[in-house]
Amino acid sequence: MSSDSFGAKGTLEVGDSSYEIYRINTVEGSATLPFSLKVLLENLLRTEDGANVTKEQISALGSWDENAQPDTEIQFTPARVIMQDFTGVPCVVDLATMREAVVDLGGDATKINPLAPAEMVIDHSVIIDVFGRPDAFEKNVEIEYGRNRERYQFLRWGQTAFDDFKVVPPGTGIVHQVNIEHLARTVMTRDGKAYPDSCVGTDSHTTMVNGIGVLGWGVGGIEAEAAMLGQPVSMLIPRVVGFKLSGKIPAGVTATDVVLTITQMLRQHGVVGKFVEFYGEGVASVPLANRATIGNMSPEFGSTCAIFPIDEVTLDYLRLTGRSEEQVALVEAYTKEQGLWHDPSHEPRFSEYLELDLSTVVPSIAGPKRPQDRIVLAESKQQFALDVKNYGVEGNYREVPVTDASGNSFGLKDGAVVIASITSCTNTSNPSVMMAAALLAKNAVDKGLTSKPWVKTSMAPGSQVVTGYYEKAGLWPYLEKLGFYLVGYGCTTCIGNSGPLNEEISAAINENDLTVTSVLSGNRNFEGRINPDVKMNYLASPPLVIAYALAGTMDFDFDTDPLGQDAAGNDIFLKDIWPDPAQVESTIAASMDRDMFIKDYADVFAGDERWQSLPTPEGNTFEWAEDSTYVRKPPYFEGMAHTPSPVSDISGARVLAKLGDSVTTDHISPAGSIKADSPAGKYLTEHGVERKDFNSYGSRRGNHEVMVRGTFANIRLRNQLLDDVEGGYTRDFTVEGAPQAFIYDAAENYAKAGTPLVVLGGKEYGSGSSRDWAAKGTRLLGVKAVITESFERIHRSNLIGMGVLPLQFPAGQNADSLGLDGTETFDITGVTALNEGTTPKTVHVTATKTDGSKVEFDAVVRIDTPGEADYYRNDGILQYVLRSLVN
């Protein structure tokens, strides 16, 4: 029960129903707050307990100074938690382990149970092994179940053992699209209360739900587990960037082009750790699907969220996607009562302002390795010629003759597009770009055009509704004629599950060190992520993905280079097959309706025969299989006592890795395929797993032994302790001469010697997905502190959640300016001040070089809130939660 210091508690009548609500307008200053902060304010009013959430916090939020730097901590309690399987499996593994730990400490296992609704969508496990043929979907799902049987049985146990935990089975859709189309409530009702829907998710693109006015963002799996167990998310009241939209998207420009433009603008402006909120007259003209596409890309521009307020467009979408009329009526009544309904004539207070006239947006792609590196399509050929030089290609593009298994002979060149994939939540949620792609395919087939034989083509929609409207519009045959057969309902290429290239093509690339490319309709194109054979990766709209499959190369100018010739020998250009926007909209209107959503989501948790026939373990605690290589009990709680040991300084630490700027969680966290000669590959081989059954790192996230061996093992990682070496290697100073070694092997040697470890990094350390294993793996390798120029939000908090100390170099300094080369021994003092209940602003670092000289500096302690300090004192967030439940 809320302390209700502001007398906010009241009732709201909607139709025949009555709901308890907490009125926002009882707090002075609330009327001019941004939409997102009003949602936070209601959250505090409802959860005020005088301890975690206080009257002072509520007053501080009401009187928010939009110009101040964030310094006031609040405790946000999300309404629900959403997970995908890569990050969700470790969450359930940890919860299962916590149940045993509670018993070991003399408590009741069932105390470990989600206190907020938790839903998991299995969408990250399907790999495109089979493509370009009618049975691709069935075959890939079959292979997926074969590979992941252990994990899926474990999740079936979780579904029965934990209350308020539901699983959307494989082959259904992508988590964020399923969220906006079905799981999101927009306004929640629980125990007679009505309140704004909000969520945290174990995937950074949780922000897609911001498009329907739901406040939510990605957190590490570690924070998500705590939220499930009733722990609030500790945060500082953020700065809010107001982003005004005006004008309308011109013909020939897609929502993808808009979102790539916004991504570039916001990344250049600098919005890390801030909320972004869209407002203004132009909001009403932005379709809901476009709002979701924009919200989805929030991690790419670095903001915590990118939210749209609720209006008639939101209500229309809720109706279209099968929500009941009672729910729609509640959303409208509640948001109007609470001042959460969008009023374009009312401009809230914002910390910073940006504006985009949508009519100025032009067709774009982004690449070759970051989502914010936007390239105007008309300039893409020239830009590619410049960028490819960074990959060692100078002058003429080399060409290698290839004959594939089907007997096709062709020349494979530098710049060849070898993957063209319509995939990921970002765009497959958007009917306008998906239908544009299908109509472009029809126009191309009608003109006699075909995809190039070296392109691996794939179609992986975000929900079964896409298949429904393609079938109703009669457009599947045209997509299939270009090779874009259905391969699965999942993230596939965007998450690194593009699957292997044809053997002949892969061999030609690797034997000749060709620089080839991928084009995908996704949100992520970081180095080493998409496919180990592909060096350059580009984000593009679905119709442009098909266009590049027709072109077959990035060395292509769509304005001047023909895609082919028609039967009469006339050149055909992209403009000749680009669909008319009016035709796109009329086709959507004729082929997409509410009944599709109701039908496809009627039994969304039931699953198919494969899912239902899986044997399901029973019991409150899980019986771990000793021989499992997928699900193993992690060591986090071994030897844990009722009270934590005092925090200690760090002495005699060695550098495990010295890294540059923009090292992402994709560089740190294990992802993609497992190489046979890697520590993880050797572990699996030693445990009787054949190479063909290695599966991916993502699928084995429930096994800490595999994951710690893959931490910092990205094939594109550059550890500056070594000269011009890529991959998961370091120098092992426990061996004479400090030879090159796998990072895992060196860490094992350091652990045997009792030597703690540190990691040195540059700017934006840990940007990318909300990867819990980037922090868990760091911890299990024995790293005690990470010292960087700056951190991305999620990874910094995840490090604290795993008991790793995040430190920053003094302002304006970095490892190089201080003369650090990574061969030093590090002592960090002043950490013990945390034992006194305070967090020091800085700690003293002494780096001793091999000649005995010293480099000394005061590092900034990036434990930003008292809550984070409690987690660090307890050696991690899960230990803190466990002790709070037992003690």
Give counts: helices (H), strands (E), the chain. Answer: 30, 34
**What is the gyration radius of the CA atoms in the chain, in angstroms?**
26
Q: Out of 19, 37, 64, pick the residue that ends a domain.
A: 64
Q: So what's the pLDDT on residue 715?
A: 87
DSSP state of 10: E
619 lies in the same domain as 733: no
Instruction: Say if strands 409-413 and 275-279 run parallel, antiparallel, or are unpaired.
Output: unpaired
Name the residue among 300, 326, 328 with its Cα closest to residue 218: 300
| Mean pLDDT, residues 506-525 | 96
| Mean pLDDT, residues 747-775 | 92
| Mean pLDDT, residues 239-251 | 94
Q: So what's the pLDDT on residue 692?
A: 87
Q: Which domain holds residue 38?
A: 9-64
* Helix H or strand E encompassing 138: helix 136-161
Flag whether 156 is in a domain.
yes
Contact criterion met (CB below 8 Å) for 320 and 594: yes
Q: So what's the pLDDT on residue 179?
A: 98
| Mean pLDDT, residues 362-389 | 96
Please state, in angstroms and rounded to a whole number, the distance separating the CA atoms of residues 492 and 372.
21
Percentage above 90 pLDDT, the chain: 83
Q: What are phi and psi of 555, to 5 degrees?
A: -85, 65
Flag whether 3 is in a domain.
no
Residue 107 pLDDT level (bands cut at 50, 70, 90): confident
Angle at 554 between CA 574 and CA 668, to 5 degrees: 130
Q: So what's the pLDDT on residue 885?
A: 83
Instruction: Say if strands 842-848 and 854-861 run parallel, antiparallel, or are unpaired.
Output: antiparallel
Flag whether 375 is in a domain.
yes
36 lies in the same domain as 91: no
Contact criterion met (CB below 8 Å) for 465 and 597: yes
Residue 861 pLDDT level (bands cut at 50, 70, 90): very high
Percentage above 70 pLDDT, the chain: 100
Flag whether 29 is in a domain.
yes
399 lies in the same domain as 518: yes
Please state, in angstroms and rounded to a whole number, the distance separating the CA atoms of residues 801 and 817.
30
531 lies in the same domain as 656: no
Token duo for residue 790 = 């700056």
570 lies in the same domain as 662: no
Token duo for residue 129 = 């092994």
77 compared with 148, residue with greater pLDDT: 77
Token duo for residue 462 = 């975000």
Q: Please count the structural domains in the chain.
A: 4
Instruction: Give the distance from CA 301 to its chain's centroid.
Output: 12
Please state, in angstroms and rounded to a whole number, the distance separating the CA atoms of residues 668 and 467.
36
User: At residue 769, does pLDDT exceed 70?
Assistant: no
Q: So what's the pLDDT on residue 26?
A: 98
List the beta strands (DSSP E) in 70-178. 73-76, 80-84, 118-121, 165-168
Flag whether 87 is in a domain.
yes
Burial class (CB in 10 A: 0-12, 13-18, 19+), 730: buried
User: At residue 226, does pLDDT exceed 90?
Assistant: no
| Mean pLDDT, residues 675-704 | 92
Angle at 733 between CA 729 and CA 735, to 5 degrees: 100
Token duo for residue 801 = 């959640």
Flag whether 852 is in a domain.
yes
Flag whether 795 is in a domain.
yes
Name the residue among 326, 102, 292, 267 with its Cα closest to residue 212: 292
Q: So what's the pLDDT on residue 333?
A: 98
Name the residue among 862, 826, 817 with its Cα closest to residue 845: 826
Residue count of the chain, please give it: 887
Flag whether 320 is in a domain.
no
Q: So what's the pLDDT on residue 348?
A: 95
Q: Is 842 left (phi over 0), alpha (psi -120 to 50) or beta?
A: beta
597 lies in the same domain as 583: no
Contact criterion met (CB below 8 Å) for 127 and 144: yes
604 lies in the same domain as 654: no
613 lies in the same domain as 570: no
User: At residue 527, does pLDDT exceed 90?
Assistant: no
Classified as helix, coil or strand, 168 is strand
Please state, in angstroms and rounded to a whole number, the distance separating the CA atoms of residues 228 and 632.
21
Mean pLDDT, rounded, of the chain: 94
Q: So what's the pLDDT on residue 222?
A: 83
614 lies in the same domain as 760: no
Please state, in angstroms and rounded to a whole number, the distance separating the CA atoms of residues 201 and 84.
8
824 lies in the same domain as 782: yes
Q: Which has the minimum average pLDDT: 26-40, 44-58, 429-443, 474-488?
A: 44-58
Instruction: Say if strands 854-861 and 805-808 run parallel, antiparallel, or are unpaired.
Output: antiparallel
Residue 87 pLDDT level (bands cut at 50, 70, 90): confident
Q: Which residues does residue 199 pair with via DSSP β-bridges, in sequence order?
A: 80, 216
Q: Quickly list DSSP for 653-665.
A: EEEEEE--TT-BH
| Mean pLDDT, residues 397-420 | 95
Please report where in the chains the tokens 């080493």 appear, as a residue: 528
Cα separation of the two ends of the chain = 22
Residue 388 pLDDT level (bands cut at 50, 70, 90): very high
Cα dihedral across residues 872, 877, 882, 884: positive or negative: positive
User: At residue 143, does pLDDT exceed 70?
Assistant: yes
**What's the CATH code of the domain at 442?**
3.30.499.10
Q: Which residues does residue 234 pair with via DSSP β-bridges, in sequence order?
A: 75
User: At residue 768, does pLDDT exceed 90?
Assistant: no
523: amino acid identity, one letter: N
Contact criterion met (CB below 8 Å) for 830 and 649: yes
Angle at 262 between CA 78 and CA 577, to 5 degrees: 120
Please state, in angstroms and rounded to a whole number, the distance separating the CA atoms of residues 220 and 201.
8
**What's the CATH code of the domain at 761?**
3.20.19.10
Q: Which residues does residue 356 pair with via DSSP β-bridges, in sequence order?
A: 245
Q: So what's the pLDDT on residue 696?
A: 83
Contact criterion met (CB below 8 Å) for 818 and 809: yes
394: amino acid identity, one letter: E
Q: So what's the pLDDT on residue 697?
A: 87
441 lies in the same domain as 555: yes
User: At residue 884, does pLDDT exceed 90?
Assistant: no
List the beta strands (DSSP E) in 226-351. 233-236, 240-246, 275-279, 305-307
718 lies in the same domain as 604: no
Q: So what's the pLDDT on residue 366?
A: 96
User: At residue 231, does pLDDT exceed 90?
Assistant: no
**Under 8 Å CB-to-CB from 526, ≥6 apart: which residues?**
369, 370, 537, 664, 666, 667, 768
DSSP state of 542: H
